[in-house]
Amino acid sequence: MATHFNLPNTLTWIRIALIPLFVIVFYLPVPWARPASAIIFSLAGITDWLDGYYARKLGLTSSFGAFLDPVADKLMVAVALVLLVQQDTRITVTLAAAVIIGREITISALREWMAELGRRSHVAVSQIGKYKTIAQITALIMMLYHEDLFFIPMYEVGYVFLLLAAVLTLWSMARYLAAAWPVLTGESGEP
């Protein structure tokens, strides 16, 4: 039980606890609500980096942490996408959100199933997946911020990054599925 509340896991719990605050701030009827929601989302991202850093540095990695960390990430991203889709009902925003959320569900299920078969390494994080994450987080922060920052049209640039993230999401999902296909279809020659 103690490992559930070590420093890295506590940072992950904080990230989860930020979700209701993030939603409330997003909907506040004040001019600073959207930039503040972007800051909260960014703080959550910082806790994500910190929990991984401290888990490795302090030797506090655990199965529970390995489970909780991606759950917290996916919850925060899914909530951000739902908020943005509710505010911007263009079909491209909705499709990008559906692709990103659908991919997360699909790959999470695939990883769980492959882990049960002892084949988790077939669906390890790829470089394309890392690029997808960078594009996705950049898009969400910029779109959440919404206001122009100096001469940068944050929402519009974020929208382009969201579309890029959706393309990279499909590409990375196709690669994960292709890597797992022989195991999924029983063609790998192994039980």
Its pTM stands at 0.87
11 shares a domain with 75: yes
Q: What is the model's pLDDT at position 176?
A: 82
Domain final residue pick, 87, 114, 140: 87
**CA–CA distance, 43 with 96 (Å, rounded to integer):** 24
Q: What is the model's pLDDT at position 33?
A: 97
Mean residue pLDDT of the chain comes to 88
Q: Let me know if residue 188 belongs to a domain.
A: no
Compute CA distances 93 → 64, 96, 115, 159, 160, whole Å: 34, 5, 33, 8, 10
Instruction: With a cut of 60, say whether residue 2 has pLDDT above it.
Output: no
Rg of the chain over Cα atoms, rounded to whole angstroms, equals: 18
Domain count, the chain: 2
DSSP string of 28-50, one letter each residue: -SSTTHHHHHHHHHHHHHHHHHH
Tens-place pLDDT, residues 106-128: 888 887 777 777 765 656 667 88
Q: What is the model's pLDDT at position 185?
A: 76
Tens-place pLDDT, residues 64-102: 888 888 899 999 999 999 999 999 999 999 999 999 999
Domain final residue pick, 39, 64, 87: 87
170 shares a domain with 99: yes
Rounded to 5 degrees, what angle do the CA atoms 67, 3, 110 make? 10
Q: Let me know if residue 186 belongs to a domain.
A: no
Instruction: With a cut of 60, say whether residue 189 has pLDDT above it.
Output: no
Q: Let me know if residue 189 belongs to a domain.
A: no
